[in-house]
Amino acid sequence: MSDKKTKNNMMKGAAIAIECLERAGVKVIFAYPGGASMELHQAMQTSGLRVILPRHEQGGAFAAAGFARATGKTGVCMATSGPGATNLITGIADAYMDSVPLIAITGQVSSTLIGKNAFQEIDMIGITRPIVKHSYLVFDAAELPRIFGEAFHIANSGRPGPVVIDIPKNVQQQLCEPVFGEGRISRTYHPCHKIYESDVESVREAIRKSERPCIYAGGGIITSDASKALVKFAESYNIPVVTTLMGVGAIPERHPLALKWLGMHGTVYANNAANESDLLIALGVRFDDRVTGPVSTFAQKAKIIHVDIDRSEINKNVRVDIGIIGNVKDLLDALNKNPIRKRYEKWHAQINEWKRKYPLKYRQDNKIHTPYVVETVYNITKGNAVIVTGVGQHQMWAGQYYDYKRPRQFISSCGLGAMGFGLPSAMGVKIACPNELVIDIDGDGSFQMNIQELGAIHTEDIDVKMIVLNNQHLGMVAQWEDRFYGSKRGNTVLKNAKVDRPYPDFVAIAKGYQIPGREVYEKSDVEDAVVEMIKTKGPYLLDVHVEYQEHVLPMIPPGKSYKDILVE
């Protein structure tokens, strides 16, 4: 690192920033250059960082988030000022909604021009304020070591989330002698809360009195590395487990106590178990509307325990009987020391009856149905692949029909529901986990939103497998049109009426990026095509043409309760 310094140990602000990243343990950054970030890119050329050039800043933000979701480490992305910075917004918002640790570095116009509507000036701090944990506008290069130290601490402590560091160009060019050290916020930022013995005993007492307990596990289980503790807790106490989409993989989905996930498109038995329990133990969740429906109808007869590291989540959406602020792993570890095991024979019998009566199912015929494709992928990969999705019907089917074994195996934009997430996020996941089989299961609408990242995938030789489940529609919106708007299409058809074949030709587009691919029209070809995709060295695109009339079921209609769930 000495080549970055002048003879008198003076360094440019840009070089200081990059050294801060290296000192924070960053190995990979997703960065797109521009006038206000050129100094940073020049500094990276003499660093040890691997710089991935996305083809769009949004792709870079999603890729950094994919890296973070797959590892638990803080992802880093970078863009220039103005449109470069604003193109990061969706990725930052996605990280905020799903509690993903992310550092977004943006170039800014010179500090002397701020507030004067200079070329490519944008108030990044003001724009991102509602969707970050914290943000910094840097006016002195000497402050960079402290700011970066604090930023990484904030992003990946407590409830993780995104942090923005906005660095004016003149600060990047400023010479100073840096003092490196770890920045910490101590007076106003206290993300860790102790679990008290009284908290543990209150949970144990509630379990003693319960006859129909249910564990409701969310992304906080995975973030806190509490999956093993959760499984031990469920087994020791003999309590069934439902998860959120963010919590998928927190317990192996073929575990006898696992009921998969609940909510609008969750299983009937998961929704019934949560809502008809007499004790709902909510661990690292936020009671989002896709899970609860109208809160007045959610788990009406249950005593609710809510454990979360974020104080603001307690009683925010659902009033609870016992609110515990702290690390969920600490609570589970304490509960596991002296378990209370009851048989709950009637309760488990009821759940088994729901599972028998309302299994996940789809039409069995000679047509290609999306669930069949997902099941085929599961069988061929033996359930070991990391599945990344876009957003839409395919996302729900990928969640339903692939049984996940471990945390961080299902990666999706759950809170924000951002189309275009799948391809760039899969790129970040594969870079983070080069030895894993990473498959992007996407829809034709969602895939096109960041299709340009095929360029980054090829040039960086990123071995991502891509399955486009192509129904020529914005399937989820079309489903709502079918269910609630008399099938009147409101700009949800993607096919081109001027041609008699599906449009666009995804395999031809992939070929333009020098990525091989294959189209599939017949059900009998699906298995062979998936095997070919997996065996092919390097990235591969599989364009599978599926039925557009198909609906994701079960489905709880908007504004309705679990009792109104549609199964056909």
Residue positions annotated with a catalytic role: 57, 119-120, 169, 476
**Euclidean distance between CA atoms 414 and 72, whole angstroms:** 17
Please compute, for residue 89, the number of CA atoms within 13 A of its CA located in the half-sphere on the CB side: 16
CB 213 within 8 A of CB 186: no
Q: In sequence order, what are the beta bridge partners of 307?
A: 283, 324
Kind and range of the H or E run holding 475: helix 475-484
**Euclidean distance between CA atoms 15 and 434, whole angstroms:** 29
Tokens in use for 60? 């870079």
Kind and range of the H or E run holding 217: strand 213-217
Tokens in use for 433? 């986990």
Closest of 420, 421, 440, 445 to residue 430, by C-alpha:
440
- Helices 227-237 & 328-335, crossing angle to 10 degrees? 30
Q: How far is CA 76 from the centre of its chain?
A: 15
Q: What is the CA radius of gyration of the chain?
A: 24
CB 40 within 8 A of CB 401: no
Give 223: exposed, middle or buried? Use CB within 10 Å, 0-12, 13-18, 19+. buried
Which spans in 227-278 are helix H? 227-237, 268-275
Kind and range of the H or E run holding 166: strand 162-168
**Euclidean distance between CA atoms 487 and 490, whole angstroms:** 9
Cβ-based neighbours of 126, under 8 Å, separated by 6 or more: none
Closest of 311, 157, 308 to residue 247, by C-alpha:
308
